Amino acid sequence: MKILKQMHNIKLIISSFMMLALVMSCTNTDDDDIIIIDNEPDFSGTYAQEDQMGRPAVNTVFVSSSSKDMFNVTIPSEQNAAFQTMFQTNLEGLSPAYANPGDENALGLDSAAFTGLLATDVLNVSLDGTTTFYDGTNVLTGRALADDVITVELLLIFGGEDFSENPGLSNDNVDANDKPFLTSFPYLASPW
C-alpha cells in the first residue's frame, strides 16, 4: 500500500510538472509555441500559379482574349519573347497612329519599345525615394494608392508625343478614389 501510494504521489508529481509545462507554454507569447498548442496549421503541398500582376491593366488591355490565361502562367522573364508581338499588334489596333513610322508616346517610346517595356509585366519600384506610377516628374518608380494609373496609361496609348492627341480618349475623368486613403498603415480605406 505504501509503495502504491508513493507511486501515486510520483504520478501526481509528474502530472503536475506536465501541467506546469503546459501552462508555461500556453502563457509563452512566442508565436511558434502558440502554433504548436493550437495544432500547427498544415502548410504542406504544392501551390500552382493561376493569376499574376505587375503593372495595372496590362493583361486586360494588351493580351488577346484567347491568351489571357496563358499570360497569367507565363513567368515574367519569358513574357517578352512570348507576348511582345501580340502587344504591338493590339496597341496599333487600339491606337492606329502608333503604326506610323516614327510615332512615339510622351515617354519617347515607339510602338515596339513601348510594348517591349509592357510585355514584361513587373512593377519597377525605386528603393531610393518617390514611388509613383507617374507624377509628372518620376516615371515607373512604383505604384501609390492615389496614382491615376488609368489616365496615365490612356495618355501613353492615345495621347501622342505631348499628351495632346485624342483628348476624348486619353482621360477617363475619374481622377481620385471614392474614399480618402489613410496616412498610416494599412493605408487603404475601411470597406463600404
Task: Find the binding residues for another protein in span 67-126 (CB under 8 A).
Answer: 68-69, 71-73, 75-77, 120-126
Straight-line distance from the first to the last Cα atom of the chain, in angstroms, rounded to the nearest whole number: 72
> Closer CB to another protein, residue 95 or residue 111?
95
Q: Is 31 in the site for another protein (CB under 8 A)?
A: yes
Applying CB under 8 A, among 3, 29, 127, 162 the residue interacting with another protein is 127
Half-sphere exposure for 146 (CA within 13 Å, toward CB): 8
Give Cα 159 distance to the centre of its chain: 27
Q: Footprint of another protein on residues 172-191 (CB under 8 A)?
A: 172-179, 181, 183-191
* Alpha-carbon separation of residue 151 from 14, 147, 156, 192 (angstroms): 71, 9, 9, 25
d(CA 35, CA 111): 53
Q: Is 136 in the site for another protein (CB under 8 A)?
A: no
d(CA 91, CA 61): 9
Applying CB under 8 A, among 110, 144, 161, 165 the residue interacting with another protein is 144
d(CA 121, CA 59): 8
Q: Is 61 in the site for another protein (CB under 8 A)?
A: yes
Applying CB under 8 A, among 50, 108, 137, 162 the residue interacting with another protein is 50
Smallest distance, another protein to C-beta of residue 95, A: 12
Q: Count residues binding another protein (CB under 8 A).
A: 75
Q: Is 32 in the site for another protein (CB under 8 A)?
A: yes
Applying CB under 8 A, among 27, 60, 101, 102 the residue interacting with another protein is 60
Q: Residue 154 contacts by C-beta under 8 Å, 6 or more apart in sequence? A: 169, 170, 171, 172
Applying CB under 8 A, among 22, 41, 90, 99 the residue interacting with another protein is 41
